[in-house]
Copies of this chain bind each other. A is one copy, B any other.
Amino acid sequence: MAEVDTARFLADLHELRKIGEFRTGVHRPTYTPQDMESRRWLMSRMAEVGLEPSIDGLGNVLGRHPGEGPRLLVGSHIETQNEAGWLDGALGVVAGLALARAGLPVDVVAFADEEGHFGSFLGSRSLIGALDEGEIDAARHVLTGQPLREALAEAGLAGLPRLRLDPARYKGFFELHIEQGTQLERAGLRSGVVSGIVGVSLWRITCIGKQDHTGGTTMAERKDATVAAMRVLSLIDERFPMVAAERTVWTCGRLAIEPNAPHIIPGRAEMIFQFRDIDEAVLDRMGECLKAIVQEVDRRDACSVSLEPVSRSAAAISAAPMRAALETAATKHANGQWQPMPSGAIHDAQHVARIMPAAMLFTPSIGGISHHWSEDTKEEDLALAIRILADAAESYLSA
């Protein structure tokens, strides 16, 4: 059995934490000097554990195992949100190093810009061949508007070729990540084997009414966009539970009415509505239900109500034998202290799953905090996670 050095694993995590240190967290936005320093640190660590490191034209770092197959790919991302946590992403990358150090035949990967400073999963999509040059040309920093090409040039990456993952090289991809929620903590558990990563279906619902004075317009004359929005949300609240699966979630996170003034009847309301599930069939069913609701309110209400899809990311069920390996290892190391669970957040593994078997392991987030410098996980839970992952990787490789 592979002996993983948990102390060294934790020491690596703490060393990486010093790069871009911010309070107890880190600040390493994509392509900043701190981010690039962390990529160089990673490459030197890869060399140290016997991998052949390379960095590509988007900043993806890949450490190749020099031996023969079968191999695994293990990793996550290394840049962070602004003033964010020390484990989000970094944990999965350093886990890969630990497995390589333990002698397992793994390639280690750090996908660039998982945190979306310049786009949506640019690094992992590039590595699986799902990102064209046109999108790179057009991409800009979501806040500053800096062109991606310019940021790449400043980071010294311009002109480097982009790498592609060869699915034939790997038996599968493992990603270890913090939960970023409180389900494990609330259940008093120490580990979660991810059953699948949810697909996210995002929609824009627009209600067009007529802007009018709140005093001079009778109730019969009104076309109040807020009332129409309320009717849509009310029907969703009533009907979605009837078509949802056990872990489906739905949210109206954005709702803007215009002109949003106390004495004016709103003429327009716009909602961004989403639902998530690990089962594509459930997502389809919810979509049909939403269409019917919007159509009904449009037909009955004084306002016109319309629906347009914004985006949909594919759900990714974890590869069954990889998941089974994780569950067996979790039971061995933490019997009664782990659970199967969906990942409600999207991860690089969702994209990698399009070209090879993939699975994920979660470790608890204290207080569910993520994307904040105070994000943390107990060290004994981190150590447990790397033992589970190493065991699962070894047994899956030999299966």
List chain A positions with a Cβ less than 8 A from chain B: 179-183, 186, 198, 200, 202, 212-219, 221-222, 224, 226-227, 230-231, 233-234, 237, 241, 244, 247-257, 260-266, 272, 274, 276, 343-346, 368, 370
Contacts and interface: CB of A to CB of B under 8 A. Distances in A.
Copies of this chain, how many? Answer: 2
A194 to B, nearest CB: 12
A344 B214 contact: yes
Contact of A255 (B226, B250, B253): B226
Contact of A215 (B198, B216, B234, B255): B198
Contact of A213 (B255, B261, B345): B345
A217 B255 contact: no
Contacts of A213: 180-181, 344-345, 368, 370
B233 A237 contact: no
A264 B257 contact: no
Given A221-B182, A262-B254, A276 B214 contact: yes
19 contacts: A179-B216, A180-B215, A198-B215, A202-B262, A212-B368, A213-B344, A214-B274, A214-B276, A215-B249, A216-B345, A218-B249, A222-B249, A226-B255, A231-B234, A254-B257, A254-B260, A255-B257, A262-B272, A262-B274
Contacts of A221: 182-183, 186
A202 B221 CA distance: 21
Contacts of A218: 183, 247, 249
A253 B249 contact: no
Given A221-B182, A272-B262, A214 B255 contact: no
A345 B345 CA distance: 49
Given A237-B230, A260-B255, A249 B217 contact: yes
Given A234-B230, A254-B260, A256-B260, A276 B215 contact: yes
Contacts of A344: 213-217
Contact of A249 (B202, B219, B230, B249): B219
Contacts of A262: 202, 253-254, 272, 274
Nearest to A197: B215
Given A249-B214, A262-B202, A274-B263, A227 B237 contact: yes
A112 to B, nearest CB: 21
B263 A215 contact: no
A249 to B, nearest CB: 6
B251 A216 contact: no
Contact of A181 (B186, B217, B264, B346): B217
A227 B250 CA distance: 11
Contacts of A264: 253
A12 B325 CA distance: 91
- Which one of A216, A233, A252 has the highest number of Cβ atoms from chain B below 10 Å of its Cβ? A216
Kindly list the 5 A-B residue pairs having the minimum CB-CB distance in the complex, ordered from nearest. A181-B216, A215-B344, A230-B233, A215-B345, A214-B251
A248 B222 CA distance: 13
A212 B252 CA distance: 12
A253 B247 contact: no
